[in-house]
Amino acid sequence: MIVEKILQSKKNANCILDLEKSLLSNDEDDILSSMHTYQKLFVQLYERNMIQLSPNLDSNEEKYRLWLIDRKNDLVDNLLTYLNYNNEKIQGESLEVLMTLVKLEGLNSEEWNFPNELFGKIVNELLSHCVDEKGNIHKFQEYMQYHDILMHSLKAALNILNDKEKVTDIFLTNLFYLLNTINFPKEFQTTTPNTYLPQGSLKAPFFCKKNLLRKLFSNTWFRYLKFQLPIPVLKRVLLMLHKKVIPHLQNPCLLTDFLTDSYNQKGIISLLSLNSLFFLIDRYNVEYPDFFLKLYSLTNAEIINGKYSPRFFYLCDLFLSSTHLPAYLIGAFVKKLSRIALLSQTDSILRILCLVINLIIRHKSITVLINQENPTEMFEDPFDFDASDPAKSCALDSSLWEIKTLQSHIVPEISRKAKMINRALPSLELENTALDITIDSLYKKERKRHFTEVPLAVNRPLKI
């Protein structure tokens, strides 16, 4: 074995150079084999304190150890390069050997001494400006469960961010991948901390402090969100912000400007920012007086029939849950949704009907919309669909003739739901199962149903 040969005598040290040539060959099997051998070799060298200088060494021994340190530095540079190799096995092995070196270097002391320089190089490579590192960061996720790796990853990322004034979209995407791997610890153990570097023999062990980690976490996210994020990344950030980020920030209110700017972008970005913005309003008393005005303007056919339709209805139901909201506001939403339902796709119509019926059950003051007579013509309806302010829409002077119209819909499930307003509504709200409904699931459900009368697209022939 080449490892034993090198360790037996310094005369065999040049075998390391042969190993380096093999590492840089074009044969992928040779590359992988060399990585395995390097890993075994440096485990032995670190255990024998050969990668460490001390004042008692003679000149020859010092030169030899300096030479070994140079070989280790060359190995690190080569492994960092191989992180972007077009072979996943080589990428994964490179990361594993690099993290092994992190552990070995960190243990080369009687006190806690995390190898920040080496670890910083790894994080810097994972946050490449020109290469998508999604695969490597996914593999790196298994190390992020350790408190020391988590803390120093945030430190390294924050240092990189603070040194950057201009960044690429690829860098911002890679950093999102890294931040998204973070699962903030629920517990911080004081006796046996969850660390990557073993601490059994250390005189001064490492303990992760919750306040320090929250500070690093907060500073990294606040610095990151100051950059103009690519739209695909911004969407993903807004989707997870209220669950994975805001609860762990030191001062979540500092996100108000970011969320307000996102909300003002309209369209999908505006919709996705709703949850986090409402979270700040509800939990942290952030003032946003135009919230419902913005939500009303966001209620349109494009959103309701789009990709995030279930999310919109879930949020809309949540935001309109308070019984203290004025009747004119709820009435305006009910009328606008009902009007949009006339030209919506089947699954969206069912979501609208479920939400509208629940809003009527929840807010008794708008039952007037059911009892008023229908206008004979659409232009006679006093409701102003295009009004930007719900207070000026005259919704409560109108009626739900749109729902009456849907009672003749060709889809039986829509017809049945719409006919619920013809009788006394239940005291309990409907289950929000329409959020998960699809055309396929609706078709399968209807196939199992037995009908006494089937709606037809044509008139029945007259009996003679």
**pLDDT the model gives residue 172:** 96
Judge residue 421's burial from the number of C-beta atoms within 10 Å of its C-beta, 0-12 exposed, 13-18 middle, 19 or more buried. buried
Residue 166: C-alpha distances to residues 125, 218, 224 (Å): 17, 21, 12
Tell me what the mean pLDDT of segment 147-163 comes to.
93
What is the widest separation between alpha-carbon atoms in the chain?
Answer: 119
Tell me what the mean pLDDT of segment 358-362 comes to.
93
Between CA 45 and CA 51 the distance in angstroms is 6
Between CA 373 and CA 408 the distance in angstroms is 18
Mean pLDDT of the chain: 87
Tell me what the mean pLDDT of segment 20-37 comes to.
92
What percentage of the chain has pLDDT greater than the value 90?
54
**pLDDT the model gives residue 358:** 92
Q: Is the pTM of this model over 0.75?
A: yes
pLDDT of residue 321 exceeding 80: yes
Between CA 161 and CA 218 the distance in angstroms is 13
pLDDT of residue 192 exceeding 70: no
Confidence of residue 136 (pLDDT cuts 50, 70, 90): very high
Q: Which two tokens stand for residue 292?
A: 């419902």
pLDDT of residue 131 exceeding 70: yes
Contact assessment for residue 103 and residue 136, using Cβ atoms and an 8 Å cutoff: no
Tell me what the mean pLDDT of segment 234-241 comes to.
94
**pLDDT the model gives residue 233:** 96
**pLDDT the model gives residue 436:** 64
Contact assessment for residue 64 and residue 23, using Cβ atoms and an 8 Å cutoff: no
Between CA 404 and CA 180 the distance in angstroms is 47
Residue 285: C-alpha distances to residues 250, 252, 278, 390 (Å): 15, 11, 10, 23
